[in-house]
């Protein structure tokens, strides 16, 4: 009897009506080097696509009965994931060839890891002529009368550490990352919905990882591209302003720890 290969990587894609979901799935499949060791889990957030997703045996569609937001979608996807590693991806991303094998082969047990980030024109599905993002610095900014954490391109570190191919970073955008499933189970548990259905999940997993002795890493030998903000999806629009109380709650909970981290990074 033929035994199915163990799943190496489960890719979880939270999605609410994004028109580029099928493109993202095809980009994952076409650029994968894991073959049948890959599974892709689109989590449909209380909707069905206008056109059914094209079938592939590596695709496991999870439909939620109502709109709950991306944090709960990720939690739901992880619960059914079978992979040794889990990956979170937005529904409008392209990927470098072999991204999945590169990231899983180089990810240590206590790491979160991502590739270099480019900007994607989703209407032509091509990379834009804009500076790529490698390292990011974790900073704070104002949203009306509230505060939030955000990653900011760290160009000085890009230059100073240009010859280090796998290196630690302070922040990521959060649209794509990989971590061992065992690390999620041990350290993350689930994304905390006390912070609302949207936003700050990347900072939550990084803070929890740092507190447990882990690292946030960038592998410069692979990449992904994320839809540039000038291209809208034409679907539900969530604004930082509309989530400002949730952003402030997260900021208040983690601000003191962030100050400790700033001292360690000497910023």
Rounded to a whole number of angstroms, the distance between the first and last alpha carbons of the chain is 58
Instruction: Let me know if residue 68 belongs to a domain.
Output: yes
Domains: count for the chain: 1
Q: Cα–Cα distance between 58 and 37 in angstroms, integer?
A: 9
CA atoms of 201 and 246, how far apart (whole Å)? 12
Decide if 244 is inside a domain. Answer: yes
Beta strands in 97-250 (DSSP E): 111-121, 126-127, 136-143, 146-153, 166-168, 176-180, 215-227
Expressed as residue numbers, the domain containing 100 is 9-265
pTM of this structure: 0.95
Is 2 a member of any domain? Answer: no
**CB within 8 Å of 196: residues ≥ 6 apart:** 69, 71, 243, 245, 246, 247, 249
CATH code of 107's domain: 3.90.550.10
> Mean pLDDT of residues grouped by 10 in the chain (267 residues)?
82 96 98 98 96 94 96 98 98 98 98 98 96 97 90 97 98 97 98 94 98 98 95 67 88 97 94
Decide: helix, strand or coil at residue 223.
strand
Residue 4 lies in a domain: no
Q: For residue 243, with 0-12 CB atoms within 10 Å meaning exposed, 13-18 middle and 19 or more buried, which class applies?
A: buried
């Amino acid at each position: 009897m033929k035994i199915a290969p163990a799943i190496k990587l489960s890719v979880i894609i939270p999605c609410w009506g994004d028109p580029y979901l099928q493109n993202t799935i095809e980009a994952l499949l076409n650029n994968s080097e894991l073959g049948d060791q890959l599974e892709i889990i689109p989590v449909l957030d209380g909707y069905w696509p206008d056109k059914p997703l094209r079938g592939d045996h590596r695709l496991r569609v999870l439909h939620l009965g109502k709109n709950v937001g991306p944090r709960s979608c990720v939690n739901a996807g992880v619960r059914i994931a079978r992979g040794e590693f889990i990956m979170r991806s937005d529904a409008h991303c392209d990927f470098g060839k072999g991204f999945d094998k590169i990231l899983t082969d180089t990810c240590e047990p206590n790491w979160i890891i991502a590739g270099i980030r480019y900007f994607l024109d989703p209407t032509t599905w091509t990379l834009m002529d804009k500076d790529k993002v490698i390292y990011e610095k974790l900073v704070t900014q104002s949203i009306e009368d509230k505060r939030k954490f955000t990653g900011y391109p760290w160009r000085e570190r890009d230059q100073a550490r240009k010859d280090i191919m796998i290196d630690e970073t302070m922040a990521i955008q959060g649209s794509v990352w990989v971590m061992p499933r065992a690390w999620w189970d041990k350290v993350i548990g689930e994304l905390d919905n006390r912070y609302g259905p949207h936003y700050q999940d990347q900072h939550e997993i990084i803070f929890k990882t740092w507190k447990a002795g882990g690292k946030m890493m960038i592998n410069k030998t692979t990449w992904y591209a994320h839809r540039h903000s000038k291209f809208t999806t034409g679907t539900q629009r969530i604004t930082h302003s509309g989530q400002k109380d949730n952003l402030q709650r997260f900021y208040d909970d983690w601000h003191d720890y962030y100050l400790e981290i700033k001292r360690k990074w000497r910023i």
